[in-house]
Structure 1
């Protein structure tokens, strides 16, 4: 059975690049009516065109910063005004940081938590009434950094651990109302995320990905499409009707190997 989101309204945050872009493109292929959110208008517009090319449905592209109350308010309002409903909320937006307590500053902490925790909390609370009406569901995108400890993961790892717990708490609260909540926790994934954090050149980044693949039991890093497929599986009522409160790790088994050593190399 293949997930089918025909006539389902799906909101994807952080959709202008990386994992969010892959999620948006897959849901477009699966027939969803999309609202996509990002801060980069140019990139978001490009993703919207590619989504429309799949099934001819033009996504609602919302340029907003979800670290701000105004950005969350705009996203929730524009989505509901345009579509009149919401079936699936995919909280993918996130920012990273590479630091440790000896180098920590509060500006970095606030920037990471404003997007990865507060923004998700704020947008979700505004859209829960619509999801209750539709008996919809939520998929949050976390990271194995939320469960695997490594030097240099402050405050990013903390924010993802908070997101995992947030997901479980609201899954319990919303289950009697017919709303499922699940989390996908990627491992090392091909995107510009790590490259931006480390200032690696393209050559250095490719070398790092190659080294990372050697540390992964299944032998390769994740693609955005790998993550998107799990998101679609969890968001599908046909495939995951009784799945809620889960944190599904898509990492090739990395959490069982030398993740600490791999991630700490980024701090050097």
Structure 2
């Protein structure tokens, strides 16, 4: 998803900086992204789970490029499991990956974003809007990211920084349905290893999600749910919790 977002912004004329812990993987991603002429891609190795590293990245962005117009936080990890079997350490890992990384990047890069009147786009999930079954601590982490995004949007409004959330359903990928089989033990149905924990929502093309992320940065859209028709179901589910539970059961195997 991050790679597709990077190429979408690059094709729209942005100079893109991709950040990750592995310099080797960053170089490989840069080569792949620059295979199409006209794209401007730079890399900055760093661990965005550490504030000192985020501060160093912010310093390098200012030194090398002079400004920052958009920050896209798309670090994250999903999971499978039952809530009553959720290990506290695993929950901390998921929160660190899905929430803390976004918080630290926002804090470190706030000055640059305020100077440009820029945008932050956090990549959430449908699991940050509803408490779907079989997703372990992923629901908790993405709900926390949803709350953090709104809080930042309200607090940074006066600073001229726009903060958006994109909450997609399952993304189409080559390993869909197989990468969580090792976590689907006897306490979970076989369908739990499927995208979205067995949701009946059709997988989204990553290019579609990336275009929405670009719109949030450029047009300052606030909170986008994909697919869009689920927004009404989520609203109804929040207004009428019993109906919401019934809908969730109907939409998951």
TM-score where L is the length of structure 2? 0.79
Rounded to whole Å, the distance in 1 between the matches of 2:95 and 2:4 is 24
Aligned length: 231
Superimposed CA distance per residue, residues 5-64 of structure 1 (whole angstroms, 9 cap, x where no aligned partner): xxxxxxxxxxxxxx1111001111111111101234444323212332334444221233
Q: 1:38 aligns with which of 16, 20, 36?
A: 20
Consecutive unaligned residues in structure 1, runs of 5 or more: 1-18
Please report how far the alpha carbon of residue 86 of structure 1 lies from its aligned counterpart in structure 2 after TM superposition: 0.5
Q: What's the secondary structure of 2:44's corresponding residue?
A: strand
Root-mean-square deviation (CA, aligned residues, Å) is: 2.9
Q: Which moved more, 1:61-70 or 1:156-165?
A: 61-70
Rounded to whole Å, the distance in 2 between the matches of 1:164 and 1:221 is 21
Please report how far the alpha carbon of residue 230 of structure 1 lies from its aligned counterpart in structure 2 after TM superposition: 0.2
Q: 1:198 aligns with which of 181, 197, 204?
A: 181
Q: Which moved more, 1:117-126 or 1:68-77?
A: 68-77
Rounded to whole Å, the distance in 1 between the matches of 2:249 and 2:6 is 31
Rounded to whole Å, the distance in 2 between the matches of 1:159 and 1:36 is 23
Compared with structure 1, are the counterparts of its residues 99 and 224 closer, same or farther at alpha carbon in structure 2 (3 Å cutoff)?
same
Q: Which moved more, 1:149-158 or 1:250-259?
A: 250-259
Aligned residue for 1:91? 73
Q: Does 1:130 align with 2:112?
A: yes
Q: Does 1:231 align with 2:213?
A: yes
Superimposed CA distance per residue, residues 233-266 of structure 1 (whole angstroms, 9 cap, x where no aligned partner): 1111xxx25x4xx321113645749555665x5x
Compared with structure 1, are the counterparts of its residues 98 and 208 closer, same or farther at alpha carbon in structure 2 (3 Å cutoff)?
closer
Rounded to whole Å, the distance in 1 between the matches of 2:128 and 2:117 is 28
TM-score where L is the length of structure 1? 0.75
Please report how far the alpha carbon of residue 138 of structure 1 lies from its aligned counterpart in structure 2 after TM superposition: 0.7
Q: 1:167 aligns with which of 108, 126, 149?
A: 149
Compared with structure 1, are the counterparts of its residues 74 and 258 closer, same or farther at alpha carbon in structure 2 (3 Å cutoff)?
farther
Superimposed CA distance per residue, residues 77-125 of structure 1 (whole angstroms, 9 cap, x where no aligned partner): 3322221211000011111222223211122111111121111111101
Q: 1:176 aligns with which of 146, 151, 158?
A: 158
Aligned residue for 1:11? none
